[in-house]
Structure 1
């Protein structure tokens, strides 16, 4: 039986021999469950897992095509180690640009592509997507700008709402919760004139997006929120206010004459 130092040295020599062969590394990772099981609870098992995960991150092609290797691994220890390294080695470099889904090398975009290709069936991939979204900041102003004032299907917020890769991700629920809060506020205290104008002045494309957004909110709302009904009610109230404003000068003239 090898001692710890001998094991580490042999592992280093072995992996050095295959480090220049991404295709061979992929085959090894595919079978990593067998190797981890064979090592069992040996004191060197943790080092073996860490070393093999590090080997993955030395290969760009493996990280960009994890569906061919890492997503086939079942070992929780390996997957947990991979997840930690993925955050520090991959996501950290893009933490301020993960919303930019048009960027071909954006890791979140890559994860979404893989999720689509694997038909949304891999639970570990969902964990990586959730982790990628953890540090993404979205405030109320951005949500309303993208989904109400100038609704646009190409924005990150809209993409999160409707793409299947985000259906269980916390950030999607956060956006829904903020829209629900806004709808309750509108029902309680009414809508401003600029909000009514924004709705009235939509282009056809914006109208389609807005209707889709608020149909979703209506589905998840316990009060069955209806944006069209609210808009009509608020428009009527606003017209009444405008009528009052129009007659004020006449009333003043009569009062002062």
Structure 2
């Protein structure tokens, strides 16, 4: 059982929905990013998604693209991202961390080496947005053999023919993308999301977490109310990009978490 599996079992026993929060590793620099990362569990975050900066983030909107650029310009690397997780684990050995990004940095490092280092650092799962199920031999199956969850995205365009293929080797949870397009492009609508979550849950026993387009505590509550939880990324990254203090950022995160937990 991974930390992700344990967290969802704990939440289910408590009758609570999950709040998942995303930040870009190294944004705006290593030290300030590390401060926010360390503060997230105390702000009510159940699972942390840690973005891996990449030069060509095709699935990300303007806000997260800029975060990646800031991180790269500040010298963030895959090695430094792994070090962030190692440092986090010195104080917190229970909060799940999912590394989210693109395959190129992992491929460049070498899959076997990366997986060994990621497990040692304390990463629990991967979301690699540019590896489809047809490429499961590349990273998904080796990652699961190494004891990590491989979390897949389902979208409004994932039809009933495609969905079983997407679910085939998914573990941990399913990330449902509430809107068509890039991150931060539109607002999520619980009325539109609910039937899609039900459709996915008819094919899997995994929790379904909804992301994209969630910016307020009320929206987090509404979306979590029709799913097993929600993810907020761009709204948090925008606070970081605006130069807010660690306290202000974590207060914003805490309000979102409170909304999700009431869902």
Greater share of residues in helix: 1
TM-score by length of 1: 0.24
Q: Which has the higher contact order (CA 8 A, sep 6+)?
A: 2
More strand by share: 2
TM-score under structure 2 length normalisation:
0.23
